[in-house]
Amino acid sequence: MDARPGPAVSQRIFNDIVPPHDLTQGDRADTIIIDVTGFKKEQIKIQIDNFGKLKVNGERPLGENKWVRFGKDFQTPENCNKSQIRAKFENGRVHITLPKLVVDTVPPPQDQPTQVTAQDKKATEPKLPSTNQNGHSKIANGEQKEEKRSDPPLADAKNKVEDKEADKSDKYSKSSSDTSDSSSEYESTERSADQRKLSMRLLSFKQKALESVYGSRKEICSAFAALVISVGVGMIIYKFIDFSSGASRESTDLVPII
């Protein structure tokens, strides 16, 4: 026997309404009052998500598959203590209390003006040198005495001794100059050979250094390019995952109604 189809499931017909609301602000908390006349406490649901958005929804039947529903969203202020939000149903109205975060503000201490006493002034004043009866300072008299005690000029005997020593040094320099001429030529040839060897070593060292620098630059450039490409690919994958799982990260908490 053929199976007969069962009765069609009845679909609800909703009538959306916008209930009036009022907002009162206080020093410690704000209060939202929503007029939901005709609804019961069990027919109203209040939720808050992790972005601070408050959602108030309600549904009630009218008969013959007809329903009345409403939905209102409120953005809580930044200074709201979201964990302490409370709701109360009374006489067909929902009272939602939004407490504020209390921050104790202590005024900064004021700097007290410092008083300068007469003793502090005396301590800070510079001391002047004492003077004698004639008005001249002792320092000036001391300087004049030191000028008078200047040493006498050098004696003539010392000048004669220095002249004799100078004559001896001239004779020794003439005798040594003749012997140094022959040895200077030999030393100059050895120095020139050593300088050539040093110049060749410096050139080879420079070439090796340049080759190592160019090689390291190529390695650094290739590594940097690979890093940039990997970071770009990672950002694209992260954005794709973030976009696909954005809805799942949004969590909502149910606010109990008293």
Q: What is the pLDDT of residue 258?
A: 83
Among 84-88, 97-101, 121-125, the range scoring the smallest mean pLDDT is: 121-125
Q: Would you state the structure tokens that stand for residue 150, as one six-digit string?
A: 């200047």
Q: What is the pLDDT of residue 133?
A: 46
Torsion of CA 205, 207, 210, 212, to 10 degrees: -70
Q: What is the pLDDT of residue 249?
A: 54
Is residue 95 scored above 90 in pLDDT?
A: yes
Among 123-132, 158-167, 246-255, the range scoring the smallest mean pLDDT is: 123-132
Q: CA 248 from chain center: how many Å?
A: 33
Is residue 167 scored above 50 in pLDDT?
A: yes
Considering the entire predicted model, what is its pTM? 0.44
3 state SS of 158: helix
Give the residue with greater pLDDT, 165 vs 62. 62
Q: What is the DSSP letter of 18?
A: -
- Phi, psi at 193, each rounded to 5°: -65, -40
Q: What is the pLDDT of residue 3?
A: 47
Give the residue with greater pLDDT, 86 vs 257. 86
Q: Does domain 13-102+250-254 have CATH number 3.40.50.12780?
A: no
Q: What is the pLDDT of residue 135?
A: 46
Q: CA 230 from chain center: how many Å?
A: 27
Chain mean pLDDT for the chain:
75
Q: What is the pLDDT of residue 96?
A: 95
Q: What is the pLDDT of residue 222?
A: 83
Q: What is the pLDDT of residue 97?
A: 95
Domain boundaries, the chain: 13-102+250-254
Q: What is the mean pLDDT of residues 62-82?
A: 92
Q: What is the pLDDT of residue 237?
A: 81
Is residue 148 scored above 50 in pLDDT?
A: no
Give the residue with greater pLDDT, 43 vs 214. 43
Residue 82 CA to residue 100 CA, distance in Å, equals: 9
